[in-house]
Structure formats: structure tokens, C-alpha cells
Amino acid sequence: SVGKYTPLALFPQMVMCGYLVTYDSLPNWSRWMLWFSPLTYAFRLALGEEFRECNDITGDIFDKGNSHFCFSYLETQGATGTHETEYWMALLIFFVFFRILSFYLFVRKSHL
């Protein structure tokens, strides 16, 4: 039933969120789809959290070149932390929207 359609919703989100293909690698005509994927915001938040210390690396383990590469990757993905609040708000809006939609569909189905 619904389980067989899950890949139809999940695979495009995986491609568009930046996990498989970066934003710069996407064709111009498809970049707008990135903003309608909740997985985009979750991926950017997780990436920013995982590599939060990228800007502050000053030890023997990482040299300056690796630190620059790490920060440029975060910058390419849009996960530098400058838009963290907006990403959390977008996820909250998606959550509320889908909860209201599921409640509406549940009530509608119960009246049939």
C-alpha cells in the first residue's frame, strides 16, 4: 500500500538535499526543489553540528589546508551556521504542516 510509494518521496529528497549531489552540481532548473525538501534542512543542520569545530581547528592533527577544505565544504553545502535558526524554523514549519495535514486526512477518512 503506502510503503511501496515511500521511495518515490524519499529518493528525490536524498538527491536534492545535498547528500548525494551538491547544490552547485544541480542543474539550474532543479535547484528550486531543494527548498521544498525537509531533508535539506535536517542534513545541513546535522552537517553543521558534526563539523562545528571546523572554523576553530588549530591543533597538530589538522593542518591549515584541511581546515580550509572543511570550511569550504560547509560553505558549499550552506551549513556554516549562519542560517541555523532559519533551518530549525523551516523544519518546525514542515512538522506542523504535516501534522495538520495528517490530522485533516484522518478526520476526513473517519467521516467516509
> Per residue in 55-111, pLDDT tens?
555 544 455 556 677 777 888 888 887 889 999 999 999 999 999 999 999 999 888
Burial class for 95, CB neighbours closer than 10 Å (0-12, 13-18, 19+) = exposed
Average pLDDT estimate for 28-44 = 88
Average pLDDT estimate for 36-44 = 91
Instruction: Report how far residue 67's alpha carbon sits from residue 70's, in angstroms, rounded to the nearest whole number.
Output: 5
Average pLDDT estimate for 36-55 = 85
Alpha helices in the chain (DSSP H): 6-16, 38-50, 64-77, 84-110
Contact 70, 57 (CB under 8 A): yes
Q: What local confidence, expressed as pLDDT, does residue 64 receive?
A: 54
Average pLDDT estimate for 50-57 = 69
Q: What local confidence, expressed as pLDDT, does residue 13 receive?
A: 85
Q: Give the angle subtended at the CA of 89 by the CAs of 86 and 92, to the nearest 5°.
A: 155
3-state secondary structure of 93: helix
Q: Which amino acid is at 99?
A: R
